[in-house]
């Protein structure tokens, strides 16, 4: 048995006994299908309690924008500095917008799973956060 044959046996065994959940493959495929045509705001801080036990708080920064988020029970709340207009909460299968009011926004009925937020910097540059699991 050569290395390729061994890898084929290992791959088949993993597929049989520990397959990747369909939802993971679906979400990953959908996330990759969405274009990133914006400046990326990187995660600079996070605080999460045990899964299912309270909100997740995250902070993202780009050169011009800071996005602080709280994600809990299908609700994404945020404070955005350096942007104007609206915040768009994206999942692999949906987009929900909310106006920025004094920098604050709230979006409800956000499906669990991957989420990111898109805003427009004060100079018109689109900015999007990294994907996170909400």
Q: What is the mean pLDDT of residues 26-30?
A: 68
89-121 burial code (b ≥16 CB/10 A, e <16) = bbbbeeeeebebeebebebeebeebbbbbbbbb
Domain ranges of the chain: 1-33, 37-133
Three-class secondary structure of residue 16 per DSSP: helix
Identify the weakest region by mean pLDDT among 14-23, 29-38, 101-110.
29-38
Asked whether the predicted pLDDT for residue 18 surpasses 70, the reply is yes
Q: What is the mean pLDDT of residues 33-39?
A: 65
Nearest partner of 76 among 50, 54, 46, 56, judged by Cα: 56
Q: Report pLDDT for 106.
A: 98
Among 2.40.50, 1.10.3470, 2.60.40, 1.20.1070, what is the CATH number of 37-133? 2.60.40
**What mean pLDDT value characterizes the chain?**
86
Asked whether the predicted pLDDT for residue 120 surpasses 50, the reply is yes
Q: Report pLDDT for 77.
A: 97
Q: What is the mean pLDDT of residues 106-134?
A: 92
């Amino acid at each position: 048995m050569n290395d390729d044959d061994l890898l084929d046996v290992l791959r088949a065994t993993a597929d049989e006994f520990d397959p990747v959940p369909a939802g993971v493959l679906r979400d990953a495929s959908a996330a990759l299908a969405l274009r990133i045509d914006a400046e990326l705001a990187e995660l600079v801080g996070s605080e999460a309690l045990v899964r299912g036990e309270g909100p997740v708080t995250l902070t993202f920064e780009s050169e011009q924008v800071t996005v602080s988020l709280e994600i809990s029970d299908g609700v994404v709340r945020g404070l955005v500095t350096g942007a104007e207009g609206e915040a768009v909460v994206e999942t692999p299968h949906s987009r929900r917008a909310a106006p920025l009011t004094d920098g604050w926004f709230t979006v409800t009925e956000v499906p669990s799973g991957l989420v990111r937020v898109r805003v427009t910097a004060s100079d018109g540059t689109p900015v999007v956060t990294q994907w996170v699991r909400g």
